[in-house]
Structure 1
Amino acid sequence: MAEVEQLPKVPPRWFVRTAWVVHRALYRATGGRFGLTRPRPGKYGMLRLHTTGRRSGRPRAVIVAYYEDGANLITMAMNGWDEPHPAWWLNLRAHPEAVVDLPGGSRAVRAREAQGIERERLWAGFDAYSEGPTMEAYSRRRRRRTPVIVLEPADLLAS
């Protein structure tokens, strides 16, 4: 008998959405003193990403997990392992210039999707910041490939 692959467990969608709302509320209530962290072994960092709405043109902000790759910040465009891409990624595709808030301050960035060998290297890099199943195991929960997003410092791009 063929063995059925066990997909990693993820919390229910309602729990994930509630956690996002609580995280943003704590960030706002503490004036940004709580909610942003630097990455460390076994734990992603958390940054606040400011985008421009692709249709409305209005400012938007979201807190996402990231790790550092040199001067670049790396995140993935996932929506709690749900199928649709997150709105912040759709916004960045339309308007790649953004600002990120980090524990030490803010910086202007330009977003792009990693491709090819770079994508594979950065995708594998996520495993150093999480315990348990690999990102590849989690990715099998989705039918579409999860984009890996590179947030490059805008000041380095201008020079």
Structure 2
Amino acid sequence: MRALGHRRWFARLGRAMVPADRVVGRLTGGRIVALGLRELPSMLLTTTGRKTGQPRTQPLLYVRDGDGYVVIGSNWGQQRQPAWALNLIAEPRATVTVGGQQIPVWAHHVTGEERERLLARLLAMWPAYETYRQRAGDRELMVFRLTPAG
């Protein structure tokens, strides 16, 4: 699976499958995300839409960092930032659903050395992020640390 992540067709297929993945995640209470690929740690991230004020849910891969979660705004290598990342910049309070458990979190957009450390962990988990970074051109892929709010 990790080798396929670098292929353009895989990114197109992945983008097309996000709505179905979102539905499966909701129906299973977040127990099945990333189309059931158990080797990839996956979550549902619910943000507040910066334009609508409505909840917006996105399935994402993540890595753990202490008590928090780390996600990257790869947008499958597209030129624009993903809406969920811009939503977190506008409103850092969010909710993650991991393994069926909903957890309120605070999002922190990481930069500098911390970003590089966390990016290395993300790349170890899903090497295709490097391909997505190259495809995104001048756009920096935003990295966020999601810390439990409690």
TM-score (norm 1): 0.78
Runs of at least 4 residues of structure 1 off by over 3 A? 28-33, 133-138
1:8-157, aligned counterparts within 5 Å?
A: 8-11=6-9, 14-35=12-33, 43-130=39-126, 133=127, 135-143=129-137, 144-155=139-150
**Corresponding residue SS for 1:85:** coil
1:117 Cα deviation from its structure 2 partner = 0.5
**Corresponding residue SS for 2:17:** helix
Cα distance 1:102–1:22, how it changes in 2: closer, same or farther (>3 A)? same
Determine which structure has more spread, i.e. the larger CA radius of gyration: 1
Would the aligned equivalents of 2:29 and 2:100 in 1 still touch at CA under 8 Å?
no
**Corresponding residue SS for 1:11:** helix
Take 1:27 and 1:60, find their aligned partners in 2: how far apart are those partners? 13
Cα distance 1:101–1:28, how it changes in 2: closer, same or farther (>3 A)? closer
Would the aligned equivalents of 1:49 and 1:64 in 2 still touch at CA under 8 Å?
yes
The answer for unaligned runs of 5 or more in structure 1 is 1-7
Take 1:83 and 1:150, find their aligned partners in 2: how far apart are those partners? 22
1:127 Cα deviation from its structure 2 partner = 2.6
CA RMSD of aligned residues (A): 2.4
Q: Once the two structures are superposed, what CA deviation does each residue of 1:74-131 show, in whole Å capped at 9, x if it has no partner?
A: 010121111111111111111100111110511111111111110001001113213x
Q: Which structure is higher in helix share?
A: 2
**Corresponding residue SS for 2:119:** helix
Letter in 2 for 1:23: D
Letter in 1 for 2:142: P
The answer for unaligned runs of 5 or more in structure 2 is 1-5
Would the aligned equivalents of 2:74 and 2:129 in 1 still touch at CA under 8 Å?
no
